Amino acid sequence: MEFSELIRTGQAQAELLRGPEMPPLRGTLCVTGHHLLLSPGPQATPDLWLLLLRSVDSIEKRVAGDAGTITLRCKDLRVLQLDIEGVEATLDIARSIEALSSLESVITSFPFFYRPKGLRLGESWHFHPPERYYKRVARETRAWRLSEANEDFSLCPSYPRAVIVPRTVDDDALARSARFRQGGRFPVLSYYHAPSGTVLLRSSQPLTGPQKRRCAEDEELLQAVLAGARPGARGFIVDTRSAQAAKQARMTGGGTEAKSAYPGWKRLHRPLERGRPLQESFVHLVEACGDLEQSMDRWLSRLDGCHWLSHVKAALSTACLAAQGMEWEGACILVHGAEGTDSTLLVTSLAQLILDPLSRTMAGFQELIEREWIQHEAPIFLLFLDCVWQLGRQFPLSLEFGEGMLLALFDHSYASPFGTFLCNSEKERCLCEVRTRTHSLWSGLNQPKEQRKLRNPLYAPNPLAIWPSVEPQSLRLWQGLFLRWTHPPEPSEVAWEKVWQIATDQEKTEGSQPTDSASEPQP
Amino acid sequence: MEHIRTPKVENVRLVDGISSKKAALGTLYLTATHVIFVENAPDTRKETWILHSQISTIEKQATTATGCPLLVRCKNFQLLQLVIPQERDCHDVYISLLRLARPVKYEELYCFSFNPKLDREEREQGWMLIDLSEEYKRMGLPNNYWQLSDVNRDYRVCDSYPTQLYVPKSATAHIIVGSSKFRSRRRFPALSYYYKDNHVSICRSSQPLSGFSARCLEDEQMLQAIRKASPGSDFIYVVDTRPKLNAMANRAAGKGYENEDNYSNIKFQFIGIENIHVMRNSLQKMLEVCELKSPSMSDFLWGLENSGWLRHIKAIMDAGIFIAKAVSEEGASVLVHCSDGWDRTAQACSVAGLLLDPHYRTLKGFMVLIEKDWISFGHKFNHRYGNLDGDPREISPVIDQFIECVWQLMEQFPCAFEFNERFLIHIQHHIYSCQFGNFLCNSQKERQELKIQERTYSLWAHLWKNRGDYLNPLFRDDPSQTQGTLHLPTMPCNFMYKFWSGMYNRFEKGLQPRQSVTDYLMAVKEETQQLEEELEALEERLERIQKVQLNRTQVKSKQSEPSKHSGFSTSDNSTANTPQDYSGNMKSFPSRSPSQGDEDSALILTQDNLKSSDPDLSANSDQESGVEDLSCRSPSGGECVPGEDSGKDRDSDEAVFLTA
């Protein structure tokens, strides 16, 4: 398929309105295979404006007289208005944008064409391979081993080729356990907590069904986890659904672990929202934040009505519970919901940030995202970023990355020139040859010129767990994200610049002592 | 002393704050000025000091098996529960505190016994730190249009106004006196702020006694004089900060608002800030929300909205923004009033000043602003903040709201203010503490009669002395950032109004961010400065050494300097590692609750006076605050610079970090 078939008109004269604080930008509007660009003409060349078409969420067109208006709502929450000369041109451009922005095919997406100067293809895809982390755990604990049972993705298409499992469980048992779990996501290690010797596991729900089926190998696997931690160790299964929802899941073939079948394990239900309700919550919040007519009288109840902050609170509380179970109770924790691909990952990745100082470094955080997250273009990933932002607000010195990093991840999760967030599973990524044909996001973000935006100059390694407050008074609306296009960003940008200035002044006076922060996690 | 029925009760248990589950056993002391609780725990002997004047309400609760609980709510938003074993003791403490918290004479207040061990000269100098005549000079007054009037000499015209007032040159004594007779409490229009860029003014007054139809020629002339004093503008705004309905209701009582037809060239505008009774109830409702135990997000947001508190804050901000825009953008003078012109008017004028003039966003300028718009113009501190026993219907958090407006602006403009949040919190604390004389009484006249300056100390001098604690490291004092008006977004900005947990939940340390950017940056800045000085000294020395051609080994001294960049990060780690109750009502992990070690208390009983002047320390609440207090104090004293010990700590932490 050729992009040119979808582009009905190449060019038009247009004016981009950029909100009340900025003057409109006039120029020639062009639609290309992946971009919408506005070139102000030869006299003012540097002021080129560019939008990746994939980030267009919805498009509205209006024509009146001999001109038209296109309103683009973008996935990064921007709303853009383009006034275009000519009715035909307006309609053609709108149709072209509609067609190009809704292309499904992965391999025609921009990352497969993006070839920036200074970056070599294939570079830095090996910055954070999960295998390295798993090997380290296997080496340290002796209770765990790396298995290649999923080499051909036959056990679980959404797991990587190498997974880490209890040493005493063989690959056949894994295969049986995989068949007993939805989507084949059998319990695997997510994080090893060295101070307590306990582990964090994740999986999907067991397929007990209405007959309350059992699977001996699955039970063995969880038994082996406890035995590997220490004799007599206990475990908690944090089910991210309500007890009732978990029970109901039996009707559709799912379910949850029966108490009698998994001695030593205790189940806790912490319902977390996901999927459609979470998406709606997000949409409502974005609407509320963009509603400039909203009066102060009803703003807080409207904010409450969106439920987004309640979801933040619930996610952080559950992650804290899991982390507390490991650090204070010395227990192993298994987290799952139904598919084990959304709220499960939210809990496991937040729990690691709370417990693990390494995951709070720039490199460790990138590795965490590589290892834990599958679907990035989903509100659950944004909820994760929001929770991390809340952690950063309560512990402003303990994360090596700043708000800019979280915003960048948000932007790239929806539309990116890099390939890191493409596809929804390891299997798909292999099929599309993402690693050899696109650039890694980390290679882009780890360039020196990006550091001032992404890194937190206040960072000082904090070897302890960071326990956030989850009371409503301590949680805030993430203005930097939700109000980023309606609020002038200058005051906070100036503040960030000032923070950097103070921090770098100190480094200068201290001599050319390099910061050790950009280094990778210690092996 | 005669009010203290029992000076000491043993085996009292103290539950500090809402979220605290742990009760500390100790001894309760009642002194003439403080309630003091000393923990029994021999290693800490932690002390909690509460000034009587901070006590807002005392509630006797139902007796339980463990004793009689007494709930003490403070005006600085601290909440304490004392469980006293014996009913009789509890009753004695209750009766004593009821009386001690409501003094009837000024002489009973703490400031008359507080002695920071300064000599007379130092005290007098302290009072001279903030000088309003200097402030009017800074505004560019007197000039061709404005003059200092002595019409209120000896408070002859208006007893709640200062004696030194600026009025338009063309306003004769006859006009002023005539106008004053047509205004509530004779508070005639007088200058609050002069905006020299546009040669326009912000004036303030009380409401006119217009009733349904009354007029006053002198009052009309007075407003005319104000307009003429800014020749570039052909009208002035009259801003009535009350809701229109309230203003209309006042007409029935022979008061009211200006009729545009009677005054030449005024534009009349209502803003709609509610009265003191609405504000008192609103705060009460908000504090009830703050006291909820583990509220859900909905409980909290709905409760906050129902309290109306943030809506009221926004109304005050709107008034300030309206005035600031009129002055800076339209170049029009503004006369501001409400009913008596001492509550809402003070709020609106001072918010406008803060937006317009970068000087008021500095440490000293902010003191000047409060001195000018609040203290000198007769804001009724005694009545509003209940310093002496009085009509509870007079109490209202008027200046608290102003202080919150400042905080809301600081959140919006992190680099625009020279001072930090702690500065605001400490000022709020001392408005109620009565430890310094500044906020005593209801007017300048009363303060003069009481000879406040001879008998008490000034808060401003105290704050200025400790200014290192109050600086905002992000403050940009370069002209482009700080000069001129703060520009708020033109669109409605509801989102910018946030709940101020640092104030209303300030004693719930668990709810606050666990690490302070401000303290960290201040420490870094201070260290950088020291290093620069060291470097300079070393360079000088090197130069000398090279001149004398000495052996180069002496240069090595640089390397033996104490290690840098140490100690900042360690202070927070201990607080970071205190998890909370995440399990909700379900007892998921019944085996044990996180044990928490207590920090040393730096307080010693005998150091009463000096120590308790620091609100953080006097209210030394729990082990977490201990750490924050220490860190917040380090930038002030030179000797508190992170030393070798903290450096070692960090090394050991790093060792842990590396092995992890």
Q: What is the mean pLDDT of each run of 10 residues along chain B (660 residues)?
A: 86 83 90 94 89 95 91 94 94 95 93 91 95 96 95 96 96 96 97 95 97 94 95 94 95 94 94 96 96 93 96 94 93 96 97 94 97 97 95 96 96 92 97 96 96 96 95 80 60 74 90 87 86 86 76 43 37 51 54 33 32 44 29 30 31 30
Q: Do A395 and B583 touch (CB under 8 A)?
A: no
Percent of chain A with pLDDT over 70: 93
**Residues of chain A with C-beta less than 8 angstroms from the C-beta of B496:** 487
| B342 annotated as belonging to a binding site for a ligand | yes
- CA separation (Å) from B392 to B99, B386, B535, B657? 15, 7, 60, 56
Q: For B44-196, where are the alpha helices, taking DSSP H only?
A: 87-100, 120-128, 132-139, 173-181
What CA–CA distance (Å, rounded) separates B216 from B222? 10
What residues have CB less than 8 Å from B636, skipping those under 6 apart? B466, B468, B469
Partner residue facing B660 (CB), from A194, A304, A318: A194
- Three-state SS letters, A201-250: EECCCECCCCCCCCCHHHHHHHHHHHHHHCCCCCEEEEECCCHHHHHHHH
Averaged over A495-513, what is the pLDDT? 78
Model confidence, pTM: 0.88
Partner residue facing B579 (CB), from A20, A467, A473: A467
Residue A460 contacts B, CB cutoff 8 Å? yes
User: Scanning every residue of chain A, which has its alpha carbon at the shortest distance from the alpha carbon of B512?
Assistant: A474
Q: Do B297 and A475 touch (CB under 8 A)?
A: yes
| B343 annotated as belonging to a binding site for a ligand | yes
Per-residue pLDDT band at A363 (split at 50, 70, 90)? very high
What CA–CA distance (Å, rounded) separates B108 from B115? 14
- CA separation (Å) from A406 to A450, B241, B548? 13, 43, 57
What CA–CA distance (Å, rounded) separates A363 from A461? 13
Q: Do A495 and B492 touch (CB under 8 A)?
A: no
What CA–CA distance (Å, rounded) separates A176 from A339? 17
Nearest to A482 by CA among A389, A418, A394: A389
Which residues, numbered 215 to 274 in chain A, qualify as contacts with chain B under a Cβ-Cβ cut-off of 8 Å?
236, 268
Residue A189, judged by CB atoms within 10 A of its CB (0-12, 13-18, 19+), counts as buried
Instruction: Show which residues of B are catalytic.
Output: 338
User: Scanning every residue of chain B, which has its alpha carbon at the shortest distance from the alpha carbon of A196?
Assistant: B660
**Residues of chain B with C-beta less than 8 angstroms from the C-beta of A398:** 515, 572, 576
Partner residue facing A396 (CB), from B513, B535, B579: B513
Strand, helix or coil at A294?
coil
Q: Do B584 and A509 touch (CB under 8 A)?
A: no
Q: Both tokens of residue B334?
A: 């503004």
Averaged over A322-350, what is the pLDDT? 95
**Residues of chain A with C-beta less than 8 angstroms from the C-beta of B492:** 292-296
| B395 annotated as belonging to a binding site for a ligand | no
Q: How far is B406 from chain A (nearest CA, A)?
A: 16
Distance of CA A509 to the CA centre of its chain: 38
Q: Do A398 and B515 touch (CB under 8 A)?
A: yes
Predicted pLDDT at B162: 97
Q: Do A491 and B497 touch (CB under 8 A)?
A: no
Predicted pLDDT at B138: 96
Q: What is the DSSP letter of B104?
A: S
CA dihedral B409, B415, B419, B422 (to 10 degrees): 70
| B338 annotated as belonging to a binding site for a ligand | yes
Which ipTM score applies to this complex?
Answer: 0.91
User: Scanning every residue of chain A, which has its alpha carbon at the shortest distance from the alpha carbon of B416?
Assistant: A491
User: Scanning every residue of chain A, which has its alpha carbon at the shortest distance from the alpha carbon of B526?
Assistant: A506
Predicted pLDDT at B301: 96
pLDDT at residue A310 above 80?
A: yes
Percent of chain A with pLDDT over 90: 51
Q: How far is A472 from chain B (nearest CA, A)?
A: 5
Q: What is the DSSP letter of A514?
A: P
Partner residue facing A495 (CB), from B415, B584, B592: B415
Q: Do A295 and B494 touch (CB under 8 A)?
A: yes
User: Tens digit of pLDDT for each residue in B68-120?
Assistant: 999 999 999 999 999 999 999 999 999 999 999 999 999 999 999 998 888 99
User: Scanning every residue of chain A, which has its alpha carbon at the shortest distance from the alpha carbon of B305?
Assistant: A300
Averaged over A118-130, what is the pLDDT? 76
Predicted pLDDT at A28: 84
Task: Judge whether A187 and A202 are in contact, CB under 8 Å.
Answer: yes
Q: How far is B494 from chain A (nearest CA, A)?
A: 5
User: Tens digit of pLDDT for each residue in B410-450?
Assistant: 998 899 999 999 999 999 999 999 999 999 999 999 999 99
Averaged over A266-295, what is the pLDDT? 90
Residue A329 contacts B, CB cutoff 8 Å? yes
